[in-house]
Amino acid sequence: MGAKVQKNIYIENIPPFTFLPLFTLLPLFTLLPFYLFTFHRNIIATLVQCCSNIFYRPLHREKNNNYKTMKKNLIVAAVMACVAMSAMAQDVDLTPKIGGTIRSKYEYQTEEGEGRFEVRNARINITGKVTPIVSYKAEIDLCDEGAIKMLDAYTRLKPSKDWQFTIGQMRVPFTIDAHRSPHQQYFANRSFIAKQVGNVRDVGAAVGYNVNVGFPIILEAGLFNGSGLTNQKDYWTKGTNYSAKAQFLLPCGLNVVGSIQKVKPSDVTVTMYDGGLTFHHKQLLIEAEYLYKYYSKDAFEGVHAFDGFINYDFLMKKGPLQKISALARYDFMSNHSDGKRYENSNGKSVLKVNDYKRSRITSGITLSFAKPFISDVRINFEKYFYAKNSIAKPSERDKIVIEFMTKF
């Protein structure tokens, strides 16, 4: 008897809809590879084997056996994909987490003899994950000195423990003190660097990378609108506005931080350079930070700002208090402009002084009823020193501040 002749099977001979199950699975397969490679390599190995069976088994077998094999492998691949998706859902808690910070205070101006109560912050935030590598945050302040503001609204991708990518509205990677959330502050009122001179938030995209070279290094950099939180809809720019920050966490308890930022609030480009040191040993913390702000076109004189403080914690073994902290701070700033043009008395558009040159000495104590930065009472006295002919704002005068901070 003659040998059995094998017939080649061509695409046009395959019945209609044979590949339909494959195309219906394509969207699922496109979402899985990165996740599977990171978290379920055993599953991806099985999927690869199934796909190789589908596409690389000899197509010159008899029709019926070939169709059965293809369908079988497609079914197995689909089942494995569903298992992977189920594993993905089980690996992450999808429940949103709600948190916030409330800061309420009383201030008394010693020279004017005037006082006021104020809710400085009433922040609510929602954070969570939708997959092991995709998280989100939305934060709003219901009372930022009486105004409602959207602060954070971003999505973050973290494909590994060392890399992350963030897009949306966020804190820019710049300075030390301006990067602290309200509950992490050491004093009732922020330093001049954090409140007046530094740019805190913007809209854009940032990349973060952590590396260990015997000690941790944290690197962050991003591109931003450069216009701050407002005027997003109609703000377009041809320039590149950026912010970058490097932190070196040395093993001796010393953190060295350097950062740079470029923004363009008007036709004037503003570039800021910041550097600082933080030393933390047991109950002692010492920090110093310097910022220089440069305006293009010689539109305004460069701004210098400094902030330095010391904090010492006295741990309580009994009673409702966890610790009592004694603090002292000195900060300084020269005449400052926000970089926007205003029309002067001559009808000319110029940059003006928004905050006058001054220095301040702050002393105080902090009573902590729980773990640090959870439930604190901050009691401060602020003494201001203004240059000649400077104008003091109503809220920037000698005063006693008693603030209650609660984080939940």
Q: Band of the pLDDT at 46, cuts 50, 70, 90?
A: low
The fold of the 99-407 domain, in CATH, is Porin (2.40.160)
User: What is the structure's pLDDT at 257?
Assistant: 98
Q: Band of the pLDDT at 271, cuts 50, 70, 90?
A: very high
> With 70 as the cut, is the pLDDT of residue 89 above it?
no
Which 3-state string (H, E, C) describes the chain? CCCCCCCCCCHHHCCCCCCHHHHHHHHHHHHCHHHHHHHCHHHHHHHHHHHHHHHHCCCCCCHHHHHHHHHHHHHHHHHHHHHHHHHHHHCCCCCCEEEEEEEEEEEEECCCCEEEEEEEEEEEEEEEEEECCEEEEEEEEEEECCEEEEEEEEEEECCCCCEEEEEEEEECCCCCHHHCCHHHCCCCCCCHHHHHHCCCEEEEEEEEEEEECCCEEEEEEEEECCCCCCCCCCCCCCCCEEEEEEEEECCCCEEEEEEEEEECCCCCCEEEEEEEEEEEECCEEEEEEEEEEEEHHHCCCCEEEEEEEEEEEEECCCCCCCEEEEEEEEEEECCECCCCEEECCCCCEEECCCECCEEEEEEEEEEECCCCCCEEEEEEEEEEEECCCCCCCCCCCCEEEEEEEEEC
Mean pLDDT of all residues belonging to the chain: 83
User: What is the structure's pLDDT at 169?
Assistant: 94
Map out the domains of the chain as residue ranges. 11-90, 99-407
Tell me the pTM: 0.77
> With 80 as the cut, is the pLDDT of residue 174 above it?
yes
When pLDDT is averaged across residues 101-113 and rounded to a whole number, the result is 96
Q: What are the pLDDT digits (tens) for 150-173? A: 899 999 999 999 999 999 999 999
